[in-house]
A and B are shown apart, each in its own frame.
Chain A
Amino acid sequence: MQKSNVLECVGLGIDFGGLTAVNDFNIEIGTTDIYGLIGPNGAGKTTVFNLLTKVYKPTRGSVFVNGVDTKNLNTVKANKLGLARTFQNIRLFQNMTVQENVMVGLHNEIGYNLASAIFRLPSYWRAEKKAKERVCDLLSIFGMQDMIEHKAGSLPYGSQRRLEIVRALATSPKILLLDEPAAGMNPAETDELMKNIQLINEKFKIAVLLIEHDMKLVMGICEKLAVLNYGMLIAKGTPAEIQSNPAVIEAYLGA
């Protein structure tokens, strides 16, 4: 195994009551890659995310994060190992403020114990102050630092998607999994998002794996693509290779 891969899947697969949803999924993602996962609706892309983040237990195969086998880990431990994600159907903490949402992302980094919270020890004040500054820093990527007092549920749709990315970033991931980050955004917003994903990739030096239907976005920023159809990988390669791959064209056009 190469050290430079942040994420590696070997023969990953899952069955739901006899139905194979994903089978023999192999992928290697380098530490600063922007990788795209595409495929028709129902191909199993989100299922792959759920397998990577241990929301589902894989039936077969293994996932390595920085060379560590995640076989016996749960979602929380997978996150601590460096996997952070967003969700296709936005899952924010609706009734909490923007600031609180991001601070939940910083939960493990803040790290003071129960006693320092109860007795308001100096470690509490220090950590809270630092965390609030971090929140502003992270939100400034998307120019959202003025929204900290807003309820997450009251934000416009696009801002909710961006807040989810910020919250995921707050967990200091090694690889960021984005599930249709541009869904519901207009072309201008999508362009902006594209730039921001690239910025995140460069600034934090982390890998990005994204599921997206917007081909302009995918072809624009991804260095490599994997194509999934009926739970099987049908192609992998650079955007140019994928565009001319007959199997991919067949899957998309249904010929």
Chain B
Amino acid sequence: MLFLSQLINGLQLGSIYALVALGYNMVYGIVKLLNFAHGDIIMVGAYIALFSLNYNHHPVVAALLTVGGCTLLAIVIEKTAYSPLRLAPRLSLLITAIGVSILLQNLAQFFFEARGRAFPADRLLPTGTVSIGDATVSYTSLLTIGISVASMIVLTFIVNKTKLGKAMRAVSEDTGAAQLMGVNVNVVITFTFAVGAALAGVGALMYGVRFPLITPTIGAMLGLKAFVAAVFGGIGSIPGAMIGGFMIGLLEVLVIHMGYSGWADGVVFMLLIIVLLVRPTGIMGRNLMEKV
């Protein structure tokens, strides 16, 4: 059945967007920064996975290296580029994030060359298909969806049950008050970037499996669409990011399936604009108001 296989296809793509969207979501919730470099962290992660798998590392080792590498990179970026600007105007921070994004892309281009490199997906996840009714679905699709959902459950647990997670929520509600209550804001911010990047690392692996051609610029469009997913679902909401991601993935697959692949990116951005105009806080978001 075509419908089912396309549905799974869309959910696979959507779960990648959802993983990336979560990173945007968490960082935005804490420091109110659209972290433009987030997509490029995924690009770096994809290269780490690629080289590590080509080096014949065990898939688990490669995965751990990828997630660890992304986390480390995000912490370095946060400490060197973002934290000196904590009290600066938002515009400066946003421009810095754009600068970091361009820097990562061009460093990657310098070291890894602009040409595309094949991602050895078959060494990471088992190949093969499974039949559900009339439809054939690949293992990788199901595994991607499964791993994403599992990651989100773990994240929900971290945010809701652990001490750091509670501190995160407190900082995103009111940074000043959280600080007065003895929360170490700097630690929380770094932790948030780290968790977001770890999810990005997982996303990088899933991206490599789905689109096995890695170039230095893959992060840009992926990051943008994931941000659209985050906005769509509602900034600051974990289930929102998940729903947003799945919706964007399904929409894109639908548009491509209808034969308008050239329009897919345009449709995603059109959706973003419509959502922002109709419901600026997204599906699950909360209203924010400036105090006068």
Identity of the chain A residue whose Cβ is nearest the Cβ of B291 in the assembled complex = A89
- In the complex, chain B residues 250-292 whose Cβ is within 8 Å of any chain A Cβ: 292
Query: Is A145 in contact with chain B by the CB < 8 A criterion?
Result: no
Contact residues of B between 75 and 113, Cβ < 8 Å to A = none
Q: Does A55 belong to the interface (CB within 8 Å)? A: yes
A127 to B142, CA, bound (A): 71
Mask: chain A, 22-60; 1 = CB below 8 Å from B; 0 = not:
000000000000000000000000100010000110000
Q: How far is the CB of B177 from chain A (nearest CB, A)?
A: 16
CB distance from A41 to the nearest CB of B (A): 15
Main SS at interface, chain B = loop
Encode A108-128 as 1/0 by CB contact (under 8 A) with B: 000000000000000000000
**Contact partners of A87 in chain B: CB under 8 A:** 292
Interface size on B, residues (CB 8 A): 1
Residue of B nearest to A17 (CB): B287
| A88 and chain B: residue at smallest CB distance | B292
Give the distance to chain B from A95, nearest Cβ to Cβ, in Å: 11
Write out the residue numbers on chain B whose beta carbons fall within 8 Å of the beta carbon of A55: 292
Cα separation A197 to B187 with both chains bound (whole Å)? 49
* Docked complex Cα distance between A55 and B290 (Å): 10
A55 to B291 CA separation, bound complex (whole angstroms): 10
In whole angstroms, how far apart are the Cα atoms of A250 and B219 in the complex?
A: 63
Interface size class of chain A, counting residues whose CB lies under 8 Å from the partner chain = under 10
Beta-carbon nearest neighbor of A46 in chain B:
B292
Instruction: Report the minimum CB–CB distance from A35 to chain B (whole Å).
Output: 21
Query: Which residue of chain B has the shortest Cβ distance to A53 in the bound complex?
Result: B292
Q: Which residue of chain B lies nearest to A55 when distances are taken between CB atoms in the complex?
A: B292
| Complex alpha-carbon distance, A246 and B292, angstroms | 32
Nearest Cβ on chain A to B269's Cβ, whole angstroms: 30
Q: In the assembled complex, which residues on chain A have CB atoms less than 8 Å from the CB atom of B292?
A: 46, 50, 55-56, 87
A46 contacts across to B, CB distance below 8 A: 292
Chain B residue nearest to A49 (CB atoms) is B292
Say how far A91's CB is from chain B's closest CB, in angstroms: 9
Complex: A50 Cα to B292 Cα, angstroms? 8
Shortest CB–CB separation between residue B255 and chain A, in angstroms?
A: 38
Shortest distance between the CB of A242 and any CB in chain B (Å): 27
Within the assembled complex, what's the spacing in Å between the Cα atoms of A55 and B292? 8
Minimum Cβ distance to chain B for residue A150 (Å): 22
Closest CB of chain B to A76's CB: distance in Å?
15
A87 to B292, CA, bound (A): 8
Q: How far is the CA of A56 from the CA of B292 in the complex (A)?
A: 9
Contact with B along A76-106 (1 / 0, CB 8 A): 0000000000010000000000000000000
Q: Give min CB distance, A154 to chain B, whole Å.
A: 17
Quote the shortest CB–CB distance from B173 to chain A (angstroms). Answer: 15
Bound-state Cα–Cα, A46 to B291, Å: 11
A216 to B62, CA, bound (A): 73
Q: How far is the CA of A85 from the CA of B292 in the complex (A)?
A: 12
Q: How far is the CA of A113 from the CA of B292 in the complex (A)?
A: 31
Nearest chain A residue, comparing its CB with the CB of B290 = A55
A55 CA / B289 CA spacing, docked (Å): 11
Q: Give the distance in Å from the alpha carbon of A87 to the alpha carbon of B291 in the complex.
A: 12
* B208-243 interface (Cβ within 8 A of A): none
Name the distance in Å between B288's Cβ and chain A's nearest Cβ. Answer: 13
Docked CA distance A46–B292 (Å): 8
What residue of chain B has the Cβ atom nearest to residue A16's Cβ? B289
Complex Cα distance, B107 from A223, in Å, reads 70
Residues 179-206 of chain A: 1 if any B CB is under 8 Å from the residue's CB, otherwise 0? 0000000000000000000000000000
Chain B residues, CB < 8 A from A56: 292
Shortest CB-to-CB span from B174 to chain A, Å, is: 16
Chain A minimum-CB-distance residue to B289? A16
Residue of B nearest to A179 (CB): B292
Nearest CB of chain B from residue A90's CB, rounded to whole Å: 12
Q: In whole Å, how far is B291's beta carbon from the nearest beta carbon of chain A?
A: 9
* Minimum distance in angstroms from B62 CB to a CB of chain A: 49
- Select from chain A the residue with minimum beta-carbon distance to B287: A17
Question: CA of A175 to CA of B292 in the docked complex: distance in angstroms?
Answer: 20
Assembled-state Cα–Cα distance A87/B290 (Å): 14
**CB closest chain-B residue, reference A47:** B292
**Assembly CA distance A59 to B74 (angstroms):** 46
Residues in chain B within 8 A of chain A (CB atoms): 292
Q: List 5 A-B contacts (CB under 8 A).
A: A46-B292, A50-B292, A55-B292, A56-B292, A87-B292
Nearest 5 CB-CB pairs, A to B? Answer: A55-B292, A50-B292, A87-B292, A46-B292, A56-B292
